[in-house]
Amino acid sequence: MSFGLIHGLLTVLLMILFGGIVWWAFSSRQKKRFDEAANLPFADEDDQPAPKKRSQKGDKQ
């Protein structure tokens, strides 16, 4: 097998892999999951307690 044949087969394999990833990402089964992930920054943070404030005097805790 020559280097050119191996290089060509690797290129075709990577193109098929890329096509599979694009197909997976845009499939309708993934839409709900991706929509939920896209809205995570806007989720309510009421479930988490407020962080405690540290004193400004330089006291060690």
Q: What is the per-residue pLDDT across 42-59, written as a single tens digit (0 to 9) for each?
A: 887 666 666 677 766 665
Residues of the chain below pLDDT 70: 45-51, 55-61
* Structure confidence at residue 44 (pLDDT): 78
pTM of the model: 0.55
Query: Using alpha carbons only, how large is the chain's radius of gyration in Å?
Result: 25
d(CA 30, CA 33): 5
C-alpha to C-alpha distances, 45 to 23, 35, 36, 52, 53, nearest whole angstrom:
34, 18, 15, 15, 18
* Structure confidence at residue 59 (pLDDT): 58
